[in-house]
Amino acid sequence: MNGDVRMIHTAAAPSPNGHYSHAVLHGNTLYVSGQLGRGSGMSDAEAGDIARQTRRCLENLRAILQAANSDFAGLLKVNVYITDIALWPAVNAVYSKILGSHRPARAVIPTAAALHFGALIEIDAVAATL
């Protein structure tokens, strides 16, 4: 593989359940795979409500960013997939509290079908290393 492409894995985020990396670093740009707010086999009660799942997604995202020498300040673009647009106010409240004054480009994508493992939210991102 090209020398400037590196696969990022960290024990601080749930292990991928498929044939993918937590993230791929190309030059100074980091492409982070979608992060769920629940683990594989986690029950709905364990996963919690949309606020708890959003926090968990962002905690996973932060761990992956840190493994690649970045953090939320390096976020360039965030995609947020939610199962119901009515969940958006709760998601945005958690998201804005955790990201603070940093406002990366963002898309909110309501899904017509359930997310993997019955999750209510999934977040992927593109970031720069710092």
Domains of the chain: residue spans and CATH:
5-128 (3.30.1330.40)
Spatial CB neighbours of 105, under 8 Å, sequence gap ≥ 6: 76, 77, 78
Beta strands across the sheet bearing 121-128 = 5-8, 23-26, 29-36, 121-128, 75-82, 105-110
Q: What is the pLDDT of residue 48?
A: 86
Mean pLDDT, residues 30-45: 83
- Torsion sign over Cα 82, 115, 94, 100: negative
Number of other CB atoms surrounding residue 57 within 10 Å:
27
More confident residue, 15 or 1: 15
Tokens 């029950």 sit on residue? 43
More confident residue, 2 or 112: 112
H/E stretch holding 81 reads strand 75-82
Determine if the pTM surpasses 0.75. yes
Confidence of residue 2 (pLDDT cuts 50, 70, 90): low
Q: What is the pLDDT of residue 112?
A: 82
Strand-pair category, 75-82 with 105-110: parallel
Residues 44-68 have pLDDT tens digits of 777 889 999 999 999 999 999 999 9
